[in-house]
Amino acid sequence: MLWLLTAVTTAALLLVAGFVKEISKAPAVAQPAALTATAHDTRHATASPSPSASAQVRDASSGLSYQLLSSPWQRGCPGVLDTPMFSWTAGEHAVAGRVSVGGTTIDWHGNACSGQLGQQFAYSGPADLEPVTIGLADAVEPAYYSGLRHHRTIESSSAMQVSGHPAWVVTFLMTYPDAAAEGLAWTSEAGAVVVVDRGAGQAPAVFYASVPSNLGTSVVAALVSSLRLSPG
């Protein structure tokens, strides 16, 4: 019986050793993804005011990419911004509050949207960047702000470059003198319009951002600074 007990014990030890060896080969997947370094880095980058490769809006139509802001911002340009004059192919938005326009209560968004320059804006090359961008900035006012009593101030109009391409930027400030009476949660709104030359044979890229003060108007400058243009 002693030899039988010894044989059984030896077999059991071999079985346990084999089981331990197989466990050591298993991939380490038990740690929740939210606790991994990659997941932590992604969340940190999304909340940062600087651009991040993991938190970008990429517009295949215009070739533009730019920072995706942290919550409450989310991907997508509000559909209500599409008009016969403006067509946006990518963007992001956040709801600033609700307003009553023409007897209808609607969400009022902070937004950052991009697309190609419409054919109704005559453009023949970089020399047209300044007048076309100013014209666009003038056109967005009646298109998007007429529902509220407001006053617009142009704050800057200057040349810039986006990934080595010539561009022009116009920044403006909307103020709402009747904000309290209209039930607004903000009193002003910062905005910018950027037009980027993409080279011969390609329609210029357009970027438009407008952010009410309760969402933090400083993000407009961060968005403009984060603009990049992919090779055509």
- Tell me whether residue 15 is in a domain: no
- Identify the domain containing residue 194 by its residue range: 54-229
Considering the entire predicted model, what is its pTM?
0.77
* pLDDT for residue 124: 95
Question: CATH number, domain at 138?
Answer: 3.40.1000.10
Assess if residue 224 is contained within a domain. Answer: yes
Mean model confidence pLDDT for the chain: 81
Would 197 be classed as within a structural domain?
A: yes
Regarding beta strands 188-196 and 205-212, do their DSSP bridges make them parallel or antiparallel, or are they unpaired? antiparallel
Count of structural domains within the chain: 1
Q: What is the pLDDT of residues 33-70, one digit of tens each?
A: 222 222 222 222 233 334 444 599 999 999 999 999 99
Q: Which long-range contacts (CB under 8 A, 24 or more apart) does 170-175 make?
A: 170/133, 170/134, 170/136, 170/137, 170/194, 171/220, 171/224, 172/137, 174/145, 174/150, 174/210, 175/150, 175/151
The reply to whether 86 falls in a domain is yes
Residue 126, in any domain of the structure: yes
Residue 33 maps to a domain: no
pLDDT for residue 148: 92
- Tokens 């020399």 belong to residue: 127
Res. 99: pLDDT tops 50: yes
Q: Confirm whether 66 is domain-assigned.
A: yes
